[in-house]
Structure 1
């Protein structure tokens, strides 16, 4: 059962936050990295993004938390499905977010080793996310406007007692206070910076293509 709904866009420290939540025993936590490892799930996610939330319980049956894309684009639907779940809006400076996103998630990776079946799954999924506002063809000002509007909508649409607006630079204390758990005696995780993102995605996609191709 999902207990934490991550409403923040990717590139707001969600990889570090995923690890942090799992250290706090909200494990496993769904993240875009899970979709890359299990690309067949894009069929269900595409359906949800296109207006069929009935597929979400099946997609998330094994997860205690969600973060990043595509779940962040479905925060309203998840709030209805999981009325007791808390909402975690990860944020960062909009210009810094855009610069990081442009170097990573807004700059699609083209790899000749990606299997045709995999590419056929990912394209409708990407189109469905674009239909929800996450488009790669927008200029800087318009993309930052999308980012800011999304965050404003979450702030306005979630009751304050259920919402934490959070930057990973804040560390454990506000996160643990919000969740009502003790601060662990370990350093807050830090992972998946822009420099390593493309290598990580390429490795996942290429490895999956080899599996599909036999």
Structure 2
């Protein structure tokens, strides 16, 4: 299936357990703005600029076992369980990426800045009130969705990996499964204030995707492409894509279940009929 412009395999044989993997390409850019600040558009733009590859929350959907590693990172950072993540640990899941965006990465801004001091940092930003409105109607709904809760049990290998990870991170970052606008906007502002204190000004770009190519290319040292700046993952697209994915996984589950249930049902009816004939 296609999610946010990328092919996602539902074949578990194609998924990769990245535990123990090493860095394969240099980490050049950390885009540490919060989700719903144009991170999907930024991913598309960075790929056009030649960054191969770019990590994003959808990377956990493309390869569900990644969520297992992020669960370990969450447990270490917020719950004191296991070794705190440093370069070696992050390289397992990010070793094939030259850049990162969105959650889970931006939730580990401090740790990533320390792990990759050579990388430049971009803060994709927007008005906190507008940001909250976008988050509440997209990611926030996934956090509280009862349908997705059911889906984690029906499809434990796929949805049951990354939805619990997202919810665990949300609860740790915001102090619970809350959609309270005061809490979310306060943490939004705190996040940006923290990153500004961690990065020298010459290595930091505060940026809004509506600005287009100029400042981003100047900061990264890339030539301005002869194409329009991409715009993807708008709010309506997010909802439609999530609905498509969940329905597809549900249909797959019930199709598999039917293959098992149908023969059993036929056999049961046949045995019942035979018993009646004998009587």
2:156: which partner in 1? 116
Contact in 2 for aligned 1:129/1:135 (Cα 8 Å): yes
Which structure is higher in RCO with an 8 Å CA cutoff and minimum separation 6? 1
1:8 partnered with 2:42: no
1:74 partnered with 2:74: no
| Structure 1 residue 132, shift from structure 2 partner | 2.9
Secondary structure in 1 matching 2:30: strand
Between the aligned partners of 1:93 and 1:136, the Cα distance in structure 2 is: 23
Secondary structure in 1 matching 2:102: coil
2:50: which partner in 1? 25
Runs of 5+ unmatched residues, structure 2: 1-25, 77-83, 257-279
Query: 1:139 and 1:176, CA in 2 relative to 1: closer, same or farther beyond 3 A?
Result: same
Query: 1:185 and 1:43, CA in 2 relative to 1: closer, same or farther beyond 3 A?
Result: same
Contact in 2 for aligned 1:7/1:88 (Cα 8 Å): yes
Secondary structure in 2 matching 1:88: strand
1:171: which partner in 2? 212
2:128: which partner in 1? 94
2:89: which partner in 1? 55
Between the aligned partners of 1:126 and 1:162, the Cα distance in structure 2 is: 32
Runs of 5+ unmatched residues, structure 1: none
Q: Which has the larger radius of gyration?
A: 2
Contact in 2 for aligned 1:36/1:204 (Cα 8 Å): no
Between the aligned partners of 1:35 and 1:134, the Cα distance in structure 2 is: 23
Between the aligned partners of 2:178 and 2:213, the Cα distance in structure 1 is: 36
1:106: which partner in 2? 140
Count residues with an aligned counterpart.
213
Between the aligned partners of 2:121 and 2:235, the Cα distance in structure 1 is: 25
1:43: which partner in 2? 68
Q: Normalising by the residue count of structure 1, what TM-score does the alignment of the two structures yield?
A: 0.90
1:141 partnered with 2:175: no
| RMSD (Å) for aligned C-alpha atoms | 2.2
Residue-by-residue CA offset, 1:122-169 (whole Å, 9 max, x unaligned): 324521342133754141111111111111111122111111111001
Residue-by-residue CA offset, 1:5-32 (whole Å, 9 max, x unaligned): 1111110001111000000001211111
Spell out structure 1 runs of 4+ moving beyond 2 A: 49-52, 109-114, 116-122, 132-136, 201-211
Of residues 83-92 and 121-130 in structure 1, the stretch that sits farther from structure 2 once superposed is: 121-130
